[in-house]
Amino acid sequence: MFASLCQCHTWPYTLPMKNSSFLKEVIFYALFALLIVIPVRTWIAQPFIVNGSSMDPTFIDGEYLIVDEISYRFENPARGDVVIFKYPEDPSKYFIKRLIGLPGETISVKSDSVVITNTENPSGLVLNEPYINSRTFGNTDVTLASNEYFVMGDNRLVSSDSRVWGPLSRDAIIGRPFVRLLPITKIKLFPGKMINETTENK
């Protein structure tokens, strides 16, 4: 009988210890989320899932990307970069496109070609675009302001881009794909990245 009573009397003492340990773990993980996870996802990197076919074949529907959100805080986007940005006509939506025109340049899209006119190429240069999946339709001439970029999808037939809604403000750019995690067979660092020199056909 006494043994049984002793076992019963141990509960009021051992249970608070377990509760205290559990509470400490909850507090630890909550602080970890506040101090590490949330800042990382807000300012450094966060996941995105590709939705749609405007970047085929470079990125296909359903691919899982981790987006680098910090690099463009220290450097400007370059021609040929794939960027993630807030859709100018609805900032609650995020788009993924390729950067074609830089600030101060004049972009001409016509006759199935893209011509860039800038200080280095006052007569214009035709872009060599090995990444595109279709013909480039459109009849566009636009001169970009000092904080504007011209973006287009790699699948030009279905892409809603600067040909439709105009230049993209620098402030709208969130980052660039850092790694493609899914599908596993296509894991890659900096997917879609092009070497600058190969994007211009002089």
pLDDT in tens, 25-47: 666 555 555 554 444 455 445 67
Structural domains of the chain, count: 1
Q: What is the pLDDT of residues 14-30, one digit of tens each?
A: 444 455 676 766 665 55
Considering the domain boundaries, does residue 42 fall inside one?
A: no
The reply to whether the predicted model has a pTM over 0.85 is no
CATH number for the domain that contains residue 57 = 2.10.109.10
Considering the domain boundaries, does residue 79 fall inside one?
A: yes
Considering the domain boundaries, does residue 197 fall inside one?
A: yes
Considering the domain boundaries, does residue 13 fall inside one?
A: no
Tokens matching residue 164: 């439709």
Please name the amino acid found at residue 109. V
Considering the domain boundaries, does residue 134 fall inside one?
A: yes
**What are the CA-CA distances from residue 106 to residues 83, 89, 114 (Å)?**
20, 22, 10
Domain containing 184: what range? 50-201
Supply the residues annotated as catalytic: 54, 97
